Amino acid sequence: MAVTGLTTFLWFDTETLEAATLYTDLFDDSELGDISTYPEDHPHRPAGSVLSVSFTLFGRPFVALNGGPDFPHSEAVSFMVHCDTQDELDHVWDTLVADGGQESRCGWCKDRFGVSWQVVPSDLQDLLSRGAWPALLPLSRSDISALRAAAN
């Protein structure tokens, strides 16, 4: 069997282009791709409205679909963003929670579209293996220096 790749597919109600634009503007090595539209005879969506958007994040393929409100996002799937510095982490965090996003705990947040993200230090797995768990638990936004101090 020849498997040729893997693409992350995201279902939105009506916000695919807005979400894809936010993500590709935020992350390097990312870009919008093809945009398809609903046809004239679609029974539930206006002709010419966005059906799907292909895009890449960090060079990885994604497709977003405007499929309606039936399948909202949940924390069961999230995207982990690895940041080397606190400034990078703060920028990504602030952008994702802006305009209606929500902060959670342990470096987790949701963007305004309901997509879950983990915005964490690049060395998080190492820090946790060295005992930084207690320092992570009370945090909303990750604090790189606090986590590194707890691991030492």
Average pLDDT, integer, range 34-39: 95
pTM: 0.93
Percent of the chain surpassing pLDDT 70: 100
Residues 74-110: tens digit of each pLDDT: 999 999 999 999 999 999 999 999 999 999 999 999 9
Q: What is the pLDDT of residue 60?
A: 96
Q: What is the pLDDT of residue 1?
A: 83
CATH of the domain spanning 78-151: 3.10.180.10
Q: Is the confidence at residue 147, as pLDDT, over 90?
A: yes
Q: What is the pLDDT of residue 45?
A: 87
Q: What is the pLDDT of residue 132?
A: 96
8-66 and 78-151 share one CATH topology?
no
> Where in the chain are the domains?
8-66, 78-151
Q: Supply the mean pLDDT for the chain.
A: 96
- C-beta pairs of 141-145 under 8 Å, 24+ apart in sequence: 141/89, 141/90, 141/93, 141/103, 141/107, 141/109, 142/83, 142/89, 142/93, 142/106, 142/107, 143/86, 144/83, 144/85, 144/86, 144/89, 145/86
Q: How far apart are CA 90 and CA 88, in angstroms?
A: 6
Residues 41-74: tens digit of each pLDDT: 888 888 899 999 999 999 999 999 999 999 999 9
CATH of the domain spanning 8-66: 3.30.720.100
Q: What is the pLDDT of residue 43?
A: 84
